[in-house]
Amino acid sequence: MGLALVHANRADACTGITLKSGDGSTVVARTIDWSGTTMNNIYVVAPRNHSFRATTPAGENTGLEFTTKYGYVGLGMEEADYVVDGMNEAGLVAELFYFPAYGEYKSFNRDNADRTIGDLQLVSWLLASFSTVDEVQQAVRGVDVVNIYPGASTVHWRITDATGRQVILEIVDGEPKFYESEIGVLTNSPGYPWHIANLNNYVNLMPGTAGPTKLGPLTLRAFGSGSGFHGIPGDFTPPSRFVRAAFLSSFNIPMPTGYDAAMHSFHILNNFDVPLAAQYSVGAKMPDMPSATQWTVSIDMGGRMIYYRTMYNSTIRSINMGNIDFDTVAFQSHPLDTVQRETIIPITIE
């Protein structure tokens, strides 16, 4: 039931960026957006040697069987194996982004059920099983990734390993296609090569202030700072968010440590919070939740730290993977928010 709910309420406004810090850490960060309803948003801790069996259109526990080689921590929804973002103890990060109308998986073949996995379980399998992009590329070509429900949207993935190498995985016409991620950005449809080509439409953008420029006898001057980005798209469509994310993350303040870069990533991603009303026509009934951006997560790969905040509580929380013994920890999941309310710290005036 949870999976059907996820697919029915598309996460079509997710935005991901990548930053590098002076101490050599890679920071991957993203927003995740559902505008249809609040979800059962959770974090998951998986130990080594924990067994899974994937879901297929034939039902639960009918697909690929695997056991965790690496312990991991992930953020997900509804079910503990529906991980959207996460990192394993080898330093591999995998993330899921919706990709409606442009991807196409293979049709489910019962004869191949033992090597079939549902798209929302792929991140769990990758984190449980692999440490490098090369390993992921080889393994994905040996499985069938399928939708569980007919007509459900497809997704695509961003995968980063401990060396900082990052690839985008899209399944088109039933075949996995990997693209090297040149600028560390991902949104949604269309396909990744289209987004990269589209950046050429914004060759005029630059950081700083434009002008002054002579126009005959006139001298034209900017009204204010930041005019070099005049014309950057500000709407919430995937192409516009991709352009905005590419420029804002490429021209960012250098950060000395992974912690600093992770905190800076939240400031950049403030530009991609989606007000709920922007997703609905005037007069339409909206769900009872504060935002279409349900959570924002930033992963400091060098520091092995996961930071997140939610639509209910903008206080940043952290999970230190270095403090987890993946040999002994129990498989577990917990809500992202224990209380769905902002943390307010009163200021005492004396």
| Residues annotated as part of the active site | 14
Residue where the block lists tokens 């200021």: 347
For 224, the token pair is: 């204010």
For 39, the token pair is: 């979800």
Phi-psi region at 173: left, alpha or beta (left = phi > 0; alpha = psi -120 to 50): left
Contact between residue 262 and residue 28 where contact means Cβ atoms under 8 Å apart: no
For 14, the token pair is: 């997710």
3-state SS class at 299: strand
Q: 3-state SS of the chain: helix, strand, coil percent to 5? A: 25, 30, 50
**Which residues are paired to 117 by β-bridges?**
145
Residue 332, C-beta contacts closer than 8 angstroms, at least 6 positions apart? 44, 45
Q: Which amino acid is at 81?
A: D
Smallest Cα–Cα separation from 147: which of 172, 118, 180? 118
Smallest Cα–Cα separation from 74: which of 139, 152, 136, 126? 126
Smallest Cα–Cα separation from 47: which of 88, 94, 76, 95? 88
For 285, the token pair is: 């009934």
Contact between residue 239 and residue 192 where contact means Cβ atoms under 8 Å apart: no
For 306, the token pair is: 């996961």
The helix (run of H) or strand (run of E) holding residue 245 is: helix 238-250
Contact between residue 254 and residue 27 where contact means Cβ atoms under 8 Å apart: no
Q: HSE, CB side, 13 Å, CA atoms: give it for residue 243.
A: 22
